[in-house]
Amino acid sequence: MRYIPNSPEEREEMLAAIGLASAGELFRSIPQDLQLKRSLDITEALAEPEVIALMEKLAAKNTAAVKPSFLGAGVYSHFSPTIVDHLIQRSEFFTSYTPYQPEISQGTLQYIFEFQTLICQLTGMEVANASMYDGSTAMAEAYLMAQRVTRRDKIVVAETVHPEYREVAKTYTQHGDLKIETASFDEETGRISNLSALDDNTAALVVQSPNFFGCVEDLKALSEKAHAVGALLVVVVTEAISFGLLKSPGECGADIVVGEGQSFGIPMSFGGPHVGLFATREKFVRNMPGRLCGVAYDKNGNRGFVLTLSTREQHIRREKATSNICTNQGLIALAATIYMETMGKKGLQEVAMQNAQKAAYAAKKIASIEGFELPFSAPKFNEFVVRSSNLAEEVLAKLREKKGIIGGLALSRYYPDRPNEFLVCVTETMKKDQIDDLIQSLSVLG
Amino acid sequence: MSIKKVTQHPSQNEALIFERSQAGRIGYRLPKLDVVETNIDELLPAELRRDDDLDGVPEVSEVDVVRHFTRISTWNYSIDLGMYPLGSCTMKYNSRLNEKVARIAGFANLHPLAPEEESQGALELIYELQQDLAEITGLPGVSLQPAAGAQGEMTGVMLIRAFLDRRDGDASKDRRVMLIPDSAHGTNPASAALAGFSVKTIRSTAEGLTDMEHLKQVCDEGGVAGLMLTNPNTVGIFETNIKEICATIHASGGLVYMDGANMNALVGIARPGDMGVDVIHLNLHKTFSTPHGGGGPGCGPCLCTSALEPFLPVPRVIKAETPVGSVFSESSSSQSHFRLDFDRPESIGRVKAFYGNFGMMIRALSYIYTHGADGLKEATEAAVLNARYLSHLLQDDFDKPYAADPMHEVVFSHKKQSRKGVHTLDIAKRLIDYGFHPMTIYFPLVVEGAMLIEPTESVGRQDLDAFVEAMKDIDKEAQENPQLVIDAPHSTRIGRLDEASAARKPVLRWKPDQEVSAITA
């Protein structure tokens, strides 16, 4: 086996050196009747070219990966500068462990510190952690943190928060004493509307903006309503590119901002690995989940970075920890950091603007096709809902079969009572021709 | 022995990117906007737009970014540099082949909500990995959804909770005690708490094994929902009584969860399912070599008996009995068809959006294919041999608290050095001067000044011998010149950092007006 340095002969010598006659004797502490007496029923070892061929064959069956696609809904196709994937493949980054030994992990620690800073700048918050698994688990952790901070037991969550995020949060909280109520949205605007569940037992109002339908929420008004009853405002952002254009949640009064950072140069990769963002106010820092990196100095006054405030964490507090999370999404957070820094101030603004412009172009044209309309009036970023006079599933299937276009996501997957609507996402990666193709195809097939 | 400080070089003093930023520098170029532009006020009213010009976000060129990250990368130790013997972390070689296949466009550019018919390769890959992991563990129910070990644990104990709630109905509320050995990972109790369990600690014996008498006594007290056990345990010893342990828990009405962090000692040799374990999580980033990436991403599949299978997270990836044709295509292929199954009414629910860390699954399957059945067993043997070899060669110089033969990792304590004022932390820092990443220190908590060493199969004999020599030299230094060890490391860019001050006055982000740039070297 080429990944094992010691040759069979060397291994024989080592066995002899420790007084054993065979490799089998290494396992004497495992009772005989528990030892597997046969080979695992797994393929024979494959050579490198065979593995590549097999994987390429599997990948080729993913025909959706090469088609023009208007899918968004929490995972977005964006351009990633070449250096992002190049730099994260440096051995020193991808084959290192969690930075437990700061003297030989300053590379990792420094980029985490930069990541935390950038997330603070974009979200308008005061502290951000080293990242969570993804947006959905970050939101679940925000529920639990809001409960700890307020000592209240109710979460009011907008129906326009990503349905899979809400499912994950439900799983995380099902055995605690949190009660979750859902706030419905306005059929006219597509924004959260019914806040009647908000009361003085509410730990947090949880909203997504842009929401699952692509509508930008009025966060300022929502924060005032949440704060009026002493609840926190938790803002969920699934499309991180929107930070480049939209007023930051922090400036609007958010207390916790969670989100998905996949848009920052991370491949869609069938849903993971991505990277969860988690930011909050400084006064809540000791209630945060996850790893935090901070500045420290050595005895000569050299600046360095360490993992800090770890008394919140499971390895010290065990069952009383703020979360069971052990580590962060290290390498993906690094990719996001490189993306944000490469794009820089101007790039993050320009890419956000291009998304908004291209989506607006597509939306306007689709709305003018007979049989299609845009049901929600609120301002949008790069996604919008289209209502068809036919079943959305059928419209999308026709687009795919006849035109080779993946036109978006039928809302019925998550909202069964909305069979005629689909969600369209247009990012900077879609060329005008491709958008025009979609429009043309819809007008012919729709 | 004196080690000279490395010479000054720009790469030694790479600033924060914010400190390098120069107004007007550009690191990207996008194609020009090719659609008719709409007045921005029509799209988004000013009150919804940012007006801070992304204050503080850096402005740097592409060259700046490449140099920045290349420079800071050199401050890290990594597996590709050498032995990384962190106990319980399984820092084995991360093959470039796995990186290559994970980046094939058909995987990397696949959207998770793409139609099933057009994502068959991804679903098939998930299915194949599920089958292989089920065979390796002897547990047939599999979900690859959990994003990391801790989430796999949470999933596992939630399965136990769901099973008990279903079996016992209301009476389940009297069964909320999760037993956890004193040597367990901290994530175990934290995950148990999320499933609504309270924790009772089970003692270890002087031999480093679960205390059977204590276990039976606690089980007799009643209310036991289950046991969370690592095997081999966290001191690297196989729990020889595992069958009796499982039988005891089962007899008291509970279930057994095994933390699979140490599966690298068992693959191809013994299977948790055959031992009586009901549910386990694996760490693809340990046993199956997906890169640790400086702290993630991981992947923590959860595997269980068929009795627990109905409760696994949704969606499940299944092989369809009959091919499912699409609405508009009459041609149904004769190949197997893979599906996402959401119809699992007893499921604990989703633990993560979409289907888990798919990119890690590709790498793990590539690892399995590259090894094959024989290679997997060979890797296990080589890993255990390496640990046993180290144990043998170090046991005269370092206190080995347990006499039993270790499996894939071995624990020592600092007892022989602490008399001279040299503690585990000092030994760890001194190892850095010898060019090694330190072992896991102060874990497990049951061993005073624990040093947990896991070489993995990815280390050759010369490196093991060099490590042994370094450890022996450090012992000698501890006896003869303890201050040298206490002041270590002497060879790194920065010395030991004042972590206490960092926690007292945390500075967790850069700010333009803040004094965090005291580089004096």
Cross-chain Cβ contact B349/A269 below 8 Å: no
pLDDT digits (tens, 9 = 90+) for B50-96: 999 999 999 999 999 999 999 999 999 999 999 999 999 999 999 99
pLDDT mean over A350-365: 98
pLDDT digits (tens, 9 = 90+) for A396-428: 999 999 999 999 999 999 999 999 999 999 999
Among residues 360-419 of chain B, which lie with CB inside 8 Å of chain A? 360, 362, 366, 368-379, 381-382, 384-386, 388-389, 392, 404-405, 407
Tokens of A17: 């050196």
Of residues A3, A43, A83, nearest to B372 (C-beta):
A43
CB A29 within 8 A of CB B405: yes
Which of B5, B21, B50 to mutate to probe the A interface, most A CBs <10 Å? B50
Length of chain A, please? 446
Of residues A67, A124, A294, nearest to B506 (C-beta):
A294
pLDDT mean over A146-161: 98
Report the C-alpha gap between A174 and A182 in whole angstroms: 15
CA dihedral A250, A254, A260, A264 (to 10 degrees): -10
Amino acid identity, position A432? K
Report the C-alpha gap between A210 and A4 in whole angstroms: 50
pLDDT number for residue A64:
98
pLDDT number for residue A154:
98
Q: Are both A151 and A263 inside the same structural domain?
A: yes
pLDDT mean over A363-375: 97
Give A310's contacts in chain B (Cβ within 8 Å).
503
Helices (H), A48-134: 48-60, 82-88, 91-94, 106-123
pLDDT number for residue B516:
54
Cross-chain Cβ contact A75/B113 below 8 Å: yes
pLDDT mean over A377-381: 98
Among residues 111-130 of chain B, which lie with CB inside 8 Å of chain A? 111-115, 118-122, 124-125
Strands A154-158 and A202-208, by their bridges, are parallel
Q: Is A300 helix (H, G, I), strand (E, B) or coil?
A: coil
pLDDT digits (tens, 9 = 90+) for B349-405: 999 999 999 999 999 999 999 999 999 999 999 999 999 999 999 999 999 999 999
Picking from A238, A239, A237, A244, the residue whose alpha carbon sits closest to that of residue A347 is: A244
What contacts 24+ positions apart, CB below 8 Å, involve A384-388? A384/A213, A384/A214, A384/A359, A384/A423, A384/A424, A385/A190, A385/A213, A385/A214, A385/A411, A385/A421, A385/A422, A385/A423, A385/A424, A386/A421, A386/A422, A386/A423, A386/A424, A387/A420, A387/A421, A388/A420, A388/A421, A388/A422, A388/A446
Percent of chain B with pLDDT over 70: 93
Among residues 175-234 of chain B, which lie with CB inside 8 Å of chain A? 185-187, 189-196, 198-199
pLDDT number for residue A409:
98
pLDDT mean over A329-342: 97
Q: How many domains does chain A have?
A: 2
Q: What is the nearest CA distance from B1 to chain A, expressed in angstroms? A: 20
CATH number at residue A302: 3.40.640.10
Report the C-alpha gap between B191 and B261 in whole angstroms: 15
Q: Is residue A48 part of a domain?
A: no
Give burial (CB, 10 Å; 0-12/13-18/19+) of B519: middle
Q: Is residue A130 part of a domain?
A: yes
Interface A-B, measured as beta-carbon pairs within 8 A, has a size of 695
Q: Are both A335 and A373 inside the same structural domain?
A: no
Give B104's contacts in chain A (Cβ within 8 Å).
55-56, 59
Q: Is residue A40 part of a domain?
A: no
pLDDT digits (tens, 9 = 90+) for B242-271: 999 999 999 999 999 999 999 999 999 999
Q: Is residue A30 part of a domain?
A: no
Give burial (CB, 10 Å; 0-12/13-18/19+) of A228: exposed
Q: Are both A189 and A313 inside the same structural domain?
A: yes
Q: Are both A146 and A237 inside the same structural domain?
A: yes
Give B121's contacts in chain A (Cβ within 8 Å).
57-62
Residue B296, φ and ψ in degrees, nearest 5: 140, 170
CA dihedral A84, A85, A86, A91 (to 10 degrees): 110
Q: Which of A311, A339, A367 is the last residue of a domain?
A: A339
Q: Are both A279 and A407 inside the same structural domain?
A: no
Q: Is residue A72 part of a domain?
A: yes
CB B228 within 8 A of CB B245: no
Q: Is the pLDDT of residue B519 over 50?
A: no
Report the C-alpha gap between A382 and A216 in whole angstroms: 10
Residues ≥6 apart with Cβ < 8 Å to B230: B181, B183, B184, B185, B188, B258, B259, B261, B262
pLDDT top residue among B323 and A383 = A383
Among residues 86-145 of chain A, which lie with CB inside 8 Å of chain B? 87-108, 110-111, 113-114, 116-118, 120-122, 124, 126-128, 130-131, 133-137
Q: Which of A339, A359, A390 is the last residue of a domain?
A: A339
- The verdict on ipTM greater than 0.95 is yes
Q: List, as one string, the DSSP characters of A387-406.
A: EESS-HHHHHHHHHHHH--B
Report the C-alpha gap between A198 and A204 in whole angstroms: 9
Residue B207, φ and ψ in degrees, nearest 5: -85, -5
CA dihedral A48, A51, A52, A58 (to 10 degrees): 180
Among residues 418-437 of chain A, which lie with CB inside 8 Å of chain B? 428, 431-432, 435
pLDDT number for residue B520:
38
Q: Are both A316 and A402 inside the same structural domain?
A: no
CATH number at residue A351: 3.90.1150.10
Asked if B466 has any chain A CB less than 8 Å from its own CB, the reply is no
CB B236 within 8 A of CB B401: no
Report the C-alpha gap between A75 and A348 in whole angstroms: 18
Q: Are both A88 and A139 inside the same structural domain?
A: yes
What domains, with CATH codes, occur in chain B? Answer: 10-73 (no CATH), 98-324+333-368 (3.40.640.10), 380-502 (3.90.1150.10)
Give A364's contacts in chain B (Cβ within 8 Å).
38
Q: Are both A72 and A130 inside the same structural domain?
A: no
Q: Is the pLDDT of residue B327 over 50?
A: no
Give A342's contacts in chain B (Cβ within 8 Å).
27-28, 60, 62, 65
pLDDT digits (tens, 9 = 90+) for A101-123: 999 999 999 999 999 999 999 99
Q: Is residue A136 part of a domain?
A: yes
Q: Is residue A104 part of a domain?
A: yes
Asked if A167 has any chain B CB less than 8 Å from its own CB, the reply is yes
Q: Are both A358 and A333 inside the same structural domain?
A: no
Q: Are both A284 and A408 inside the same structural domain?
A: no
Residues ≥6 apart with Cβ < 8 Å to A75: A260, A262, A268, A271, A274, B111, B112, B113, B354
Give A409's contacts in chain B (Cβ within 8 Å).
113
What's the whole-number average pLDDT of chain A? 97
Q: Are both A193 and A324 inside the same structural domain?
A: yes
pLDDT number for residue B336:
75
pLDDT digits (tens, 9 = 90+) for A4-41: 999 999 999 999 999 999 999 999 999 999 999 999 99
Of residues B40, B357, B502, nearest to A306 (C-beta):
B502
Cross-chain Cβ contact B294/A98 below 8 Å: yes
pLDDT number for residue A222:
98
CA distances for B314 relative to A9, A217, A415, B107, angstroms: 48, 30, 17, 21
Amino acid identity, position B489? P
pLDDT digits (tens, 9 = 90+) for B271-295: 999 999 999 999 999 999 999 999 9
pTM, two decimals, is 0.96
Instruction: Determine the structural domain holding residue A388 and report its residue range.
Output: 63-79+345-445
Q: Are both A109 and A166 inside the same structural domain?
A: yes
Asked if A189 has any chain B CB less than 8 Å from its own CB, the reply is no
Q: List, as one string, the DSSP characters of B384-441.
A: HHHHHHHHHHHTTTSB-S--SPPSS-EEEBSHHHHTTT--HHHHHHHHHHTT----EE
Q: Is the pLDDT of residue B326 over 70?
A: no
pLDDT digits (tens, 9 = 90+) for A263-307: 999 999 999 999 999 999 999 999 999 999 999 999 999 999 999
pLDDT number for residue B288:
98
Q: Is residue A106 part of a domain?
A: yes
Helices (H), B276-414: 358-394
Q: Which of A301, A324, A339 is the last residue of a domain?
A: A339
pLDDT number for residue B2:
54
Amino acid identity, position A409? L
